[in-house]
């Protein structure tokens, strides 16, 4: 069961947040304070930017990963709408240890555990879970 980590909607428009958005954040990007600040930005974005209102209900890409508990599944041509995050990154010389290929397609559609993913991908999944985003597009897997 996932826990809703979103802050109280009445408490996020603090003067500190508006004037110094990075103030008082620890160096570790996986800290609860960082996650809370990220949630505050997302709430402010979707509640105060008219152009961002569709963020909550948008068509998903042709291929996208669905996060369910400790598993990630490659979904294709889903008609479902929702919100999703994207991870596009420099692969380096050898590329990530897990990529979408003919040989990995079945594995990805059947589901892989988060700890089977390369660390960068696992970190992206963890962030999505912490901010309540169920779908994730990763260039190497989608
Ligand atoms: Zn916005």
pLDDT grade, residue 141 (50/70/90)?
Answer: very high
- Whether the per-residue pLDDT at 5 is higher than 90: the answer is no
- CA 101 to centroid of ligand 1, rounded, Å: 35
Cα 100 from chain centroid?
19
Distance 52 CA to ligand 1 centre (A): 5
Instruction: Flag whether pLDDT at 93 surpasses 60.
Output: yes
How far is Cα 111 from Cα 71, in angstroms, rounded to an integer? 6
**For the residues 62-76, what does the mean pLDDT come to?**
96
The Å distance, Cα 37 to ligand 1 centre, comes to 15
Q: What is the pLDDT of residues 15-51, one digit of tens each?
A: 445 556 666 778 887 788 888 888 888 888 888 888 8
Q: Tell how far the Cα of 99 is from the centroid of ligand 1, in angstroms.
A: 31
For 32, 96, 103, 108, 115, the CA distances from 133, given in Å and listed in that order, are: 16, 23, 28, 19, 19
Single pTM value for the model: 0.79
- The domain limits of the chain are 9-54, 58-138
Tell me the pLDDT tens digit for each residue of 45-57.
Answer: 888 888 887 767 7
């Amino acid at each position: 069961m996932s826990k809703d980590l979103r802050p109280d909607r009445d408490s996020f428009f603090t003067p500190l947040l508006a004037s110094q958005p990075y103030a008082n954040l620890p160096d570790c990007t996986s800290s609860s304070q960082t996650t809370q600040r990220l949630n505050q930005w997302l709430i402010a974005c979707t509640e105060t930017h008219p152009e961002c209102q569709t963020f909550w209900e948008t068509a998903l890409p042709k291929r996208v990963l669905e996060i369910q508990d400790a598993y990630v599944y490659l979904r294709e041509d889903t008609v479902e709408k929702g919100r999703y995050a994207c991870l596009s990154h420099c692969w380096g010389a050898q590329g990530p240890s897990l990529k979408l290929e003919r040989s990995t397609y079945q594995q990805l559609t059947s589901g892989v555990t988060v700890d089977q993913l390369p660390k960068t991908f696992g970190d992206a999944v963890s962030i999505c879970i912490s901010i309540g985003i169920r779908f994730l597009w990763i260039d190497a897997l989608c």
